[in-house]
Amino acid sequence: MTTDAADAFAAAYGDAPDGVWAAPGRINVIGEHTDYNEGFVLPAALPHTTRVAARRRADGRIRLISAQGDGKVTELALDGLAPGAVPGWAAYPAGVFWALAQAGHPVGGADLAFTSDVPTGAGLSSSAALECATAIALDELYGLGLDAPTRALLAQRAENDFVGVPCGALDQMASSCCVAGHAFFLDTRTLTGRQVPLDLPAVGLSLLVIDTRVKHDLGDGAYAALRAGCERAAELLGVRALRDIGVAELAAAEEKLPAELRPLLRHVVTEDQRVLDTVRLLDAGEPRALGPVLTAGHASLRDDYRVSCPETDLAVSAANAAGALGARMMGGGFGGSVLALVDTGRLAAVEQAVRAAFAAAGFGAPLVFPAVPSPGAHRIA
């Protein structure tokens, strides 16, 4: 086996793995902060993956190592796993063992070695890639026969209840379920989805990721406050979640809310509509028309939801000024990555313009790469 994860496995454990699996990071074309409002999202998988080389163990013990973690082997006992008991990066894969066992699946111990090229903390879901790689490896090592959505929900359970991060299902569903050349239109209420063709090269377009490399501290507390604000708004409006308010009812619903909750409602309701509009445009074969939808989404996140920051705002404005068809920040906010829709012939010019604008503003250099819609989690060796 000639994957880097198999090499890392051999270096750590002195032997060959039973197999190697990969799970991707993701972009989200549109649909931000809608997942915990039971709304719509439209992710696509990146070519960037987390790989795991894995081998079963018969003694119920777990060994974990990651080149992107602390570089040391973490040793655990499967029957000793409990939420909060595993510190650091190892909690993500350990949480997947725990979630499988909690759900009654006959999973045993294993040795795992991870390698990854998914940027971490950039809003590209490296945590879900790590979890979903673990989930598919254990599923196949132990012949559990799970389907991709089931693995995704177990991975989400690991992150929510074992690691302690209250994320929605977007990241794990994307990493598990995406198909190359497509975006995955997911209803986060019913957890059902369908693949939507996103073959941009065929029409001379590209999606460009601009990872600002910044993550402002505000993020964690702000996420909880926004989530609580949305739940409060839903309660005041007498609906289960903000997903239940359509654009036609928006003005009347705003009247019923205190001033501070109105912008949250506006963002969530208009963002759900932007996902539906985007899917309609892609189904109709009009991907160029996505540009203004992306830029409108950014304005909503900046002005109503207020989760943007100077770096993401600058990346969006510089990309658009250099001829991008549209751009928006992705992920939770306060840093992370921007997604731009660009004529392939203008990719270099847009990248150059963003780099120049960052340098002129005194910001650190961004990481810029095209996002080609790629496969979800799968076995590679």
CB closer to ligand ADP out of 8 and 353:
8
Given Mg ion, ligand ADP, none, residue 116, with its beta carbon under 5 to 8 Å by kind, binds ligand ADP
Given ligand ADP, Mg ion, none, residue 92, with its beta carbon under 5 to 8 Å by kind, binds ligand ADP
Asked if 216 and 309 touch (Cβ cutoff 8 Å), the reply is yes
Contact status: 23 vs ligand ADP (CB under 6 A): no
Q: How far is the CB of 312 from ligand ADP (least distance, A)?
A: 14
Q: How far is the CB of 149 from ligand ADP (least distance, A)?
A: 19
Tokens of 198: 């996103």
* Amino acid (one-letter) located at 91: A
* Amino acid (one-letter) located at 122: A
Tokens of 316: 């969006």
Contact status: 206 vs ligand ADP (CB under 6 A): no
CB closer to ligand ADP out of 126 and 156:
126
Q: Is 171 a catalytic residue?
A: yes
Q: How far is the CB of 128 from Mg ion (least distance, A)?
A: 6
**Which of the ranges 64-72, 196-204, 302-310, 356-364 carries the binding residues for ligand ADP, by CB under 6 A?**
64-72
Per-residue CA distances from 154 to 49, 65, 268, 315 (Å): 19, 21, 26, 35
Query: Judged by CB under 6 A, how many residues of this single chain contact ligand ADP?
Result: 17
Q: 165: exposed, middle or buried (C-beta count within 10 Å: 0-12, 13-18, 19+)?
A: middle
Contact status: 312 vs Mg ion (CB under 5 A): no
Q: Name which position in 4, 10, 56, 68 contacts ligand ADP (CB under 6 A).
A: 68
Query: What residues numbered 117-136 form the site for ligand ADP, per CB under 6 A?
Result: 120-127, 130
Q: Name which position in 3, 37, 49, 50 contacts ligand ADP (CB under 6 A).
A: 50
How many angstroms separate the CA atoms of 119 and 212, rounded? 11
Cβ–Cβ contacts within 10 Å for residue 355, how many? 16
Q: What would the DSSP string read from start to end of 292-348?
A: HHHHHHHHIIIIIS----HHHHHHHHHHHHTT-SEEEE-SSSSEEEEEEEEEGGGHH
How many angstroms separate the CA atoms of 159 and 95, rounded? 7
Given ligand ADP, Mg ion, none, residue 69, with its beta carbon under 5 to 8 Å by kind, binds ligand ADP
CB closer to ligand ADP out of 210 and 237:
210
**Catalytic, out of 111, 171, 211, 272:** 171
Compute the C-alpha angle 224/231/148, nearest 5°: 75
Task: Tell me the chain's radius of gyration from C-alpha atoms.
Answer: 21
CB closer to Mg ion out of 166 and 201:
166
Cβ–Cβ contacts within 10 Å for residue 75, how many? 11
Contact status: 219 vs ligand ADP (CB under 6 A): no
Tell which residue, 114, 111, 83, has the closest CA to residue 98.
83
Instruction: Provide the 3-class DSSP secondary structure of residue 41.
Output: strand
CB closer to Mg ion out of 3 and 127:
127
Query: What residues numbered 108-137 form the site for Mg ion, per CB under 5 A?
Result: 127
Q: Name which position in 47, 69, 181, 197 contacts ligand ADP (CB under 6 A).
A: 69
Given Mg ion, ligand ADP, none, residue 123, with its beta carbon under 5 to 8 Å by kind, binds ligand ADP
User: What is the arrangement of strands in the sheet containing 40-41, beginning at the earlier edge strand?
Assistant: 40-41, 182-187, 192-197
Contact status: 344 vs ligand ADP (CB under 6 A): no
Asked if 342 and 321 touch (Cβ cutoff 8 Å), the reply is no
Contact status: 74 vs ligand ADP (CB under 6 A): no
**Which of the ranges 66-74, 97-105, 137-145, 373-381 carries the binding residues for ligand ADP, by CB under 6 A?**
66-74
Q: How far is the CB of 340 from ligand ADP (least distance, A)?
A: 19
Name the residues that contact Mg ion, by CB under 5 A. 127
**Positions marked active-site:** 171
Name the residues that contact ligand ADP, by CB under 6 A. 50, 66, 68-69, 89, 92, 114, 116, 120-127, 130
